[in-house]
Homo-oligomer: A and B are copies of this chain.
Amino acid sequence: MKQFLLLAALAASTCAFAQEVKEDFVPNELNQPGQEYPMVNSQGYARFKIKAPEAKAVNVGLGLGGTHGGTDLKKTADGFWEGTTSAPLDEGFHYYHVTIDGGTFNDPGACNYYGSVRWESGIEIPAHDKDFYALKDVPHGNVQQILFNSPSTKSIRRAFVYTPASYDGKTKLPVLYLQHGWGEDETAWSNQGHANLIMDNLIAEGKIKPFIIVMTYGMTNDLKFGAGFGGFNFKAFETVLVDELVPYVDKHFATIADRQHRAMAGLSMGGMETRNITLARPEVFGWWGLLSGGQYGPNDFEKMDKNLIPFGIFMSCGSKEQPDAINKAAADLKAAKYNAQGYVSEGTAHEFLTWRRSLYQLAQMFFK
């Protein structure tokens, strides 16, 4: 029923803003090498073309939970199925998949990104402010895959570590632990989020001092797939993160290993994890960030040891989420004299452009 309402709302907005579709489509920047489709145009429409000559029905579902509606493709004479979205998509990155004769598959033209507990197709509507995460001719940091031992989960686990271009293994740097959302994994912040490029550009422009970012898998072991948040145990992840990964990173990288120089932030479910773990272990993290992942309020800090109050609190979401809640929470914290910042990403929903922009803002607040 919720799905129906969303689609109805989308249809209404399409009527209200009906416009001529410009025929300036170009191959999407996230396409597999040499692939022409999917395409996007200058207005943000997406066009799909997929070969399946004997299929009965082909449909493209866009956005988390179909939030950008479905696009039925029509069969063309050459055995392809083709179709254009009924409305422009929001700027930024969107997950999607293709339903072919009742089965769920990916668009063979697009690259894949892990979201919704599966490798989904991805499409990017170029944003007007895309420059801040563009790949430029500036000094580039590295993204390192590390493998660390996790006795609590009896596994060897993977994380990615962004080290800035100036990293030399000697000069000690602050560290941000940055979490993905539900159904995503430790690849999301680099692949979908361009966290490394955002950092490279901020550092090159002198807007921030270099710091390290660590990204690991937050849906620790006891998540029942398909069970949603219900089956998720924050404590298991807290143990992996705080008692296993943080010591590994502090041992193997040049870090300033204290709470004043250690931050945690996360998007969506990663924000819920951040809220939970920072309040449980304030002695570990001194800077706290929730990206489309809830709020902190003055109540959270009233009974806290004054020495463990965070140095800074960052909260954000897209303007199409609950911006009022973010703005109110930030105002309440500021009124109570906490160092808090609220940020609302204009024109975006619960998607990665919101979080790219949030990281851009957060990075300029933390560790100062």
Contact = CB atoms under 8 A, between A and B. Distances in A.
A106 interface: yes
A230 interface: no
A140 interface: yes
B101 A53 contact: yes
Given A143-B145, A144-B142, A102 B119 contact: no
Nearest to A143: B145
Interface stretch (A4-12, A18-26, A54-62): A54-62
A108 B142 CA distance: 31
A32 B108 contact: no
Interface stretch (A110-118, A238-246, A264-272, A306-314): A110-118
Interface in A48-72: 50-57
Range of interface residues on A (Cβ < 8 Å): 35 or more
Interface string A95-137: 0000011111110100110000111000000000000000111
Contacts of A148: 140
Given A79-B102, A140-B156, A135 B147 contact: yes
Nearest to A185: B33
Interface string A153-183: 0001000010000001110000000000000
Quickly give the copy total for this chain: 2
Contacts of A32: 117-119
Given A33-B225, A145-B143, A156-B137, A101 B100 contact: yes
Given A143-B145, A169-B169, A105 B102 contact: no
Nearest to A136: B156
A206 interface: no
Nearest to A58: B103
A34 interface: yes
Nearest to A156: B135
B101 A54 contact: yes
A65 to B, nearest CB: 17
A164 to B, nearest CB: 12
A181 to B, nearest CB: 15
Given A33-B225, A100-B105, A146 B142 contact: yes
A3 interface: no
Nearest to A51: B103
Contact of A103 (B53, B117, B135, B146): B53
A226 interface: yes
14 contacts: A33-B225, A52-B103, A53-B102, A54-B101, A55-B55, A100-B101, A104-B108, A105-B106, A105-B108, A111-B119, A137-B149, A140-B147, A143-B145, A144-B145
Given A105-B108, A169-B169, 14 more contacts: A34-B226, A52-B101, A53-B102, A54-B57, A55-B102, A55-B103, A56-B56, A112-B112, A135-B156, A136-B156, A142-B144, A143-B144, A144-B144, A145-B190
